[in-house]
């Protein structure tokens, strides 16, 4: 499991370091794992470079390996964040599991999920 911001940070680190792995090598490492779980999708800035980096990871996995995305975003916001090309790849032959239960972190507080 990887937080999306960690994926983005590892890819961006290749832009600064001349002695580390290449951008393609980092993306290839994410592409090679049997199952990639990307958590907190949509909690980043959503810049064009982030969308492109995530597209490259998702596209490299789309052809052969399963990927799970976890997010608290709506489908519309998730598509906006990922971009339509990456979102299409996730949706193609994919399954949406929409969980509508109260927040576990707010249980017992005055917020959502609190017991009356």
**What pLDDT is recorded for position 115?**
47
The model's pTM is 0.73
Q: Report, in this order, helix, strand and coil percent for the chain, each rounded to 5.
A: 45, 10, 45
CA distance 13 to 33: 20
Residue of 42, 62, 54, 43 lying closest to 11 (CA atoms): 54
Reported as a single tens digit per residue, the pLDDT across 59-114 is 988 878 888 888 888 888 888 888 899 999 988 877 777 777 777 777 766 555 44
Whether residue 9 lies inside any domain: the answer is: yes
Whether residue 102 lies inside any domain: the answer is: no
DSSP category for residue 69? E
Reported as a single tens digit per residue, the pLDDT across 18-64 is 778 888 999 999 989 999 988 888 777 668 888 888 899 999 888 78
Domain that holds residue 71: 2-91
Q: How many domains does the chain have?
A: 1
Q: Which CATH number do you get for residue 10?
A: 3.40.50.300
């Amino acid at each position: 499991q990887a937080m999306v911001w960690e994926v983005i940070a590892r890819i961006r680190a290749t832009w600064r370091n001349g002695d580390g792995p290449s951008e393609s090598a980092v993306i290839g490492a994410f592409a090679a794992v049997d199952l990639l779980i990307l958590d907190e999708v949509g909690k980043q800035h959503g810049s064009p470079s982030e969308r492109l980096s995530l597209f490259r990871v998702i596209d490299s996995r789309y052809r052969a390996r399963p990927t799970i995305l976890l997010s608290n975003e709506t489908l519309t916001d998730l598509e906006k964040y990922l971009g339509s090309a990456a979102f299409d790849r996730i949706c193609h032959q994919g399954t949406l599991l929409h969980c509508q239960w109260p927040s576990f972190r707010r249980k017992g507080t005055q917020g959502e999920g609190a017991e009356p």
